[in-house]
């Protein structure tokens, strides 16, 4: 960018600078008032855990177990890298740095492994011997490409020791939690439950009433491969691996398209968001989704500069892989198509071929998930739009939760970005954005809405348009449903903002005055935010004492009992209490991963309300269960009491007399776990 004259420091400019400084103070303090770095209960929990910290009992078996988990994840990563490099060789992309080549290769390679596992599952070849054989063959093909490439990665680390130390520490903390057995909600609900059921059956098959198993499931296929080769911790580590991939992507965007002097500033913005490192320790798919969406956009930015077809094919393929992760990714193909259309707005005939190239690449890669759904359920976008197997209008309404959102309240809509970034009303309160996005929001608006946007790189405007589209789509969701108020659904937008905000921070030097440097002041505020964020991460990390599991002081069962409590106790006990042929339906409990018998979870917490809607009385409900082969009912009493007290529409019993008659006349109490869970046998 050409050197420009310093602005004249008028009264209005000084007022703006003072207002921004005050906003920095407000946003930092307001965020940590809501998201406290530590609380008295946290301190109490930390103090209570001190005895556990001193119980070092080193077990060679435990260390070996953890080492195998890490090596299995690294093994699959190497296979993905080599596979992706072969595909990039075919594409012949020009002007790729080693880091860019590795990022795109990992993306294509993991996508290929996921689609290959899907094919094997549909063919009924989910046997450990088959999966090991295929993975070994792929390894032999991948190593000649992968190993020489790894040697080219040197020289990309941060130059600052402070930055290097901070990134190493926060990543290590997240990694240690990723090494624990899975306990996060959606992992136990469907991310790991689906792969577990498919491996037990030896194939991917229909007939399981967990609607989320018919969502696009690319990462679940990778989880399944890791679980077959090793176990669920190795599967968790595959999701963790997308955190450094996202960091690399943010770094590349900052260096190539924003010409940052230090691309690691953008990475600091990414890792300062607690959601990034929290999600890295969970067997979810959000980090992978953000990676594929942002990588597709990055490839399209390269196409805008070079106008070569391979970049379009790569962008479309990455977009198709994103569509294989979540339905919410549909924003990305719309955005990519819009960019292509804009580029050829004056010569639209010339744009037909690029548009078709992008469309075909995206569709071919995404199609397997939607074709599978069509065959399994009769609905390519199951369970949305067309209903399908196990689905009807009642369940659609229960899932949507229409009418529970903020509605068309103008003040609430204007306040929405503020409340979102503070973490107010978030349905997943343990996944926060951090204060930096809120702190820089006024500057972002200034650069977007004033003549100052002329100072920005060419990539800034299309990236901000994507962020706006993602935000508007999310906003429509929270207007309708409280369940969609989850900041993690905006992770791709926050990732895109990282290099943008790093550039804005750099550009503040333009406003430096001999008596005051706004950029230096902003840097000090960021340093304080990073410090408080690290304190918060440590406060949440210490009570879990993950090193005890890694070295063998704690067993797997110890960790699960401490973290999940009576949920794990109840589901684990079912195998001892019940005969092997028992079939258990859950009520108001969607998590069934640790259930060793045939368990049917309450996926969207609507099971009883739906049965009540269909059969009207307790006897008919019990008869329907028996006709379906169900022998027992596991009631999550705490969840039941919550929905009854809150009168949560569409999932609470509409007539308590129906439940009472069912419980008294057709359900025999077998056992209960301190009143939190109750196991009933269905009587005739």
Question: Which pLDDT value is given to residue 49?
Answer: 56
308 burial level (CB within 10 Å; 0-12, 13-18, 19+): middle
Question: Which pLDDT value is given to residue 432?
Answer: 86
Nearest to residue 677, comparing CAs of 581, 564, 580?
A: 564
- Say how far apart CA 452 and CA 446 lie, in whole Å: 7
- CB crowding 559-585: b at 16 or more within 10 Å, else e: bbbbebebbbbbbbbbeeebeeebbbb
Q: Is the pLDDT of residue 567 over 60?
A: yes
Q: Is the pLDDT of residue 436 over 60?
A: yes
Pick left, alpha or beta for residue 390 (phi over 0 → left; psi -120 to 50 → alpha; otherwise beta): left
84 burial level (CB within 10 Å; 0-12, 13-18, 19+): buried
185 burial level (CB within 10 Å; 0-12, 13-18, 19+): middle
pLDDT tens per residue across span 586-636: 999 999 999 999 999 999 999 999 999 999 899 999 999 999 999 999 999
- Say how far apart CA 399 and CA 373 lie, in whole Å: 18
Question: Which pLDDT value is given to residue 264?
Answer: 93
Q: Tokens 């001892």, residue? A: 576
Question: Which pLDDT value is given to residue 2?
Answer: 46
Q: 345 lies in which domain range?
A: 11-89+97-132+162-542
Task: Return the half-sphere exposure (C-beta side, CA atoms, 13 A cut-off) of residue 398.
Answer: 25
Answer whether residue 5 is part of any domain. Answer: no
How much is the CA Rg of the chain, to the nearest whole Å? 26
Cβ neighbours of residue 145 under 8 Å, at least 6 residues apart? Answer: 81, 82, 85, 86, 89
Answer whether residue 39 is part of any domain. Answer: yes
Asked whether residue 256 falls in the same domain as residue 370, the answer is yes
Q: Is the pLDDT of residue 262 over 90?
A: no
pLDDT tens per residue across span 85-121: 999 999 999 888 899 999 999 999 999 999 999 999 9
Number of domains in the chain: 2
Answer whether residue 71 is part of any domain. Answer: yes
Asked whether residue 611 falls in the same domain as residue 653, the answer is yes
Give the model's confidence band at 46: pLDDT under 50 very low, under 70 low, under 90 confident, else very high: low
Asked whether residue 599 falls in the same domain as residue 537, the answer is no
Asked whether residue 522 falls in the same domain as residue 570, the answer is no
- Say how far apart CA 223 and CA 194 lie, in whole Å: 10
Q: Which of 50-54, 83-87, 349-353, 673-677 has the lowest mean pLDDT?
A: 50-54
Cβ distance 188 to 223 under 8 Å?
no
Answer whether residue 554 is part of any domain. Answer: no
What mean pLDDT do residues 625-651 have? 88
Answer whether residue 368 is part of any domain. Answer: yes
Sheet of 667-673: strand order equals: 598-600, 583-587, 632-636, 677-682, 667-673
Nearest to residue 244, comparing CAs of 172, 309, 163?
A: 172
Question: Which pLDDT value is given to residue 157?
Answer: 74
Answer whether residue 25 is part of any domain. Answer: yes
Asked whether residue 570 falls in the same domain as residue 515, the answer is no
Question: Which pLDDT value is given to residue 560?
Answer: 97
Question: CA distances (Å), 420 to each of 76, 101, 438, in order?
Answer: 36, 35, 9
- Say how far apart CA 570 and CA 680 lie, in whole Å: 12
Cβ neighbours of residue 481 under 8 Å, at least 6 residues apart? Answer: 400, 401, 402, 404, 405
Cβ neighbours of 456 (radius 10 Å): 19
Chain centroid offset of residue 220 CA: 12
Pairing of the two strands 677-682 and 583-587: unpaired
Question: Which pLDDT value is given to residue 470?
Answer: 96
Asked whether residue 384 falls in the same domain as residue 497, the answer is yes
Q: Is the pLDDT of residue 41 over 80?
A: no
Cβ neighbours of residue 150 under 8 Å, at least 6 residues apart? Answer: 81
pLDDT tens per residue across span 402-428: 777 888 889 999 999 999 998 888 877
Supply the CATH number for residue 618's domain: 3.40.50.12610
Question: CA distances (Å), 350 to each of 282, 300, 374, 550, in order?
Answer: 45, 17, 35, 58
Q: How does DSSP classify residue 182?
A: P
Asked whether residue 264 falls in the same domain as residue 211, the answer is yes
Answer whether residue 149 is part of any domain. Answer: no
Answer whether residue 252 is part of any domain. Answer: yes
Question: Which pLDDT value is given to residue 339?
Answer: 96
Q: Which of 355-364, 542-551, 664-673 has the lowest mean pLDDT?
A: 542-551
Q: What is the mean pLDDT of the chain?
A: 91
The encoded tokens of residue 545 equal: 């004492």
pLDDT tens per residue across span 162-189: 999 999 999 999 999 999 999 999 999 9
Asked whether residue 294 falls in the same domain as residue 425, the answer is yes
Asked whether residue 455 falls in the same domain as residue 571, the answer is no
Cβ neighbours of residue 96 under 8 Å, at least 6 residues apart? Answer: 88, 104
- Say how far apart CA 333 and CA 359 lie, in whole Å: 8
pLDDT tens per residue across span 48-86: 555 555 555 667 788 999 999 999 999 999 999 999 999
Cβ distance 659 to 648 under 8 Å?
no
Neighbouring-strand partners of residue 635: 587, 678
Q: What are phi and psi of 515, to 5 degrees?
A: -95, -10
Give the model's confidence band at 16: pLDDT under 50 very low, under 70 low, under 90 confident, else very high: confident
- Say how far apart CA 69 and CA 71 lie, in whole Å: 6
Cβ distance 273 to 167 under 8 Å?
no
Nearest to residue 138, comparing CAs of 67, 77, 227?
A: 77
- Say how far apart CA 492 and CA 219 lie, in whole Å: 16
Give the model's confidence band at 1: pLDDT under 50 very low, under 70 low, under 90 confident, else very high: very low
Quickly list H helices, 92-127: 98-122
Asked whether residue 579 falls in the same domain as residue 479, the answer is no
Higher-confidence residue of 244 and 44: namely: 244
Give the model's confidence band at 514: pLDDT under 50 very low, under 70 low, under 90 confident, else very high: confident
Q: What are phi and psi of 595, to 5 degrees?
A: -85, 125
- Say how far apart CA 36 and CA 433 lie, in whole Å: 13
Asked whether residue 286 falls in the same domain as residue 386, the answer is yes
Asked whether residue 222 falls in the same domain as residue 287, the answer is yes
Cβ distance 587 to 636 under 8 Å?
yes
Cβ neighbours of 331 (radius 10 Å): 18
Question: CA distances (Å), 635 to each of 282, 301, 356, in order?
Answer: 26, 52, 52
């Amino acid at each position: 960018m050409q050197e420009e004259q310093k602005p004249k420091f008028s009264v209005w400019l000084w007022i703006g600078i003072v207002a921004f400084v005050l906003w920095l103070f407000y946003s930092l303090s307001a965020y940590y008032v809501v998201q406290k770095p530590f609380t008295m209960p946290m301190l109490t929990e930390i103090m209570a855990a001190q005895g556990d910290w001193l119980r070092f009992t080193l077990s060679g078996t435990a260390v070996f177990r953890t080492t195998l988990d890490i090596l299995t994840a690294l093994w699959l990563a190497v296979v993905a890298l080599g596979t992706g490099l072969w595909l990039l060789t075919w594409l012949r992309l020009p002007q790729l740095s080693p880091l860019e080549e590795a990022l795109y290769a990992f993306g294509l390679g993991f996508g290929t492994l996921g689609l290959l596992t899907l094919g094997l599952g549909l063919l009924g070849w989910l046997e450990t011997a088959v999966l090991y054989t295929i993975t070994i063959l792929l390894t032999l093909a991948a190593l000649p490409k992968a190993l020489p490439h790894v040697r080219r990665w040197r020289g990309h680390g941060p130059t600052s020791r402070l930055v290097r130390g901070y990134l190493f520490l926060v990543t290590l903390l997240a990694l240690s939690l990723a090494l624990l057995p899975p306990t996060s909600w959606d992992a136990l609900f469907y991310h790991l439950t689906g792969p577990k059921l498919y491996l037990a059956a030896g194939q991917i098959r229909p007939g399981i009433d967990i609607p989320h198993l018919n969502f696009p499931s690319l990462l679940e296929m990778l989880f399944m491969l890791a679980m077959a080769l090793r176990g669920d911790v190795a599967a968790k580590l595959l999701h963790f691996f997308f955190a450094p991939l996202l960091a690399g992507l943010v770094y590349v965007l900052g260096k190539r398209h924003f010409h940052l002097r230090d691309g690691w500033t953008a990475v600091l913005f990414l890792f300062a968001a607690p959601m990034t490192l929290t999600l890295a320790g969970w067997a979810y798919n959000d980090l992978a989704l953000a990676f594929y969406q942002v990588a597709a956009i990055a490839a399209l930015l390269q196409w805008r500069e070079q106008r070569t077809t391979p970049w379009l094919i790569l962008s479309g393929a990455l977009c198709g892989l994103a569509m294989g992760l979540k339905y919410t990714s549909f924003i990305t193909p719309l955005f990519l198509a819009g960019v292509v259309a804009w580029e050829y707005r004056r010569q639209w005939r010339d744009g037909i071929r690029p548009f078709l190239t992008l469309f075909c690449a995206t569709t071919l890669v995404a199609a397997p998930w939607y074709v599978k759904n069509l065959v399994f359920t009769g609905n390519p976008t199951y369970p949305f739009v067309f209903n399908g197997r196990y689905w009807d209008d009642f369940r659609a309404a229960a899932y949507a939760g229409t009418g529970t959102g903020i509605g068309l309240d103008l003040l609430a809509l204007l306040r929405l970005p503020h409340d979102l970034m503070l973490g107010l009303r978030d349905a997943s309160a343990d996944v926060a954005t951090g204060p930096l996005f809120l702190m820089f929001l006024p500057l972002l608006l200034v650069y977007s809405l004033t003549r100052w946007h002329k100072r920005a790189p060419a990539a800034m405007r299309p990236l901000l348009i994507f962020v706006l589209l993602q935000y508007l789509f999310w906003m429509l969701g929270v207007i309708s449903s409280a369940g969609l108020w989850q900041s993690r659904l905006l992770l791709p937008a926050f990732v895109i903002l990282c290099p943008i905000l790093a550039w804005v921070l750099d550009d503040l030097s333009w406003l430096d005055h001999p008596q005051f440097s706004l950029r230096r002041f902003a840097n000090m505020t960021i340093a304080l935010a990073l410090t408080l964020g690290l304190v918060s991460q440590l406060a949440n990390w210490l009570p879990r004492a993950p090193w005890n599991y890694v070295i063998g002081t704690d067993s797997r069962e110890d960790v699960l009992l401490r973290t999940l409590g009576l949920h794990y106790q109840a589901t684990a006990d079912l195998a001892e209490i019940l005969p092997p042929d028992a079939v258990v339906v859950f009520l108001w409990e969607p998590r069934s991963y640790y259930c060793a018998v045939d368990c049917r979870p309450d996926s969207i917490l609507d099971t009883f309300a739906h049965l009540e809607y269909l059969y009207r009385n307790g006897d008919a409900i019990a008869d329907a269960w028996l006709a379906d082969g169900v022998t027992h009912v596991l009631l999550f009493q705490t969840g039941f009491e919550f929905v009854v007290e809150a009168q949560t529409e569409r999932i609470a019993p509409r007539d308590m007399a129906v439940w009472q008659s069912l419980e008294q006349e057709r359900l025999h109490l077998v056992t209960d776990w301190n009143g939190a869970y109750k196991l009933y046998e269905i009587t005739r």
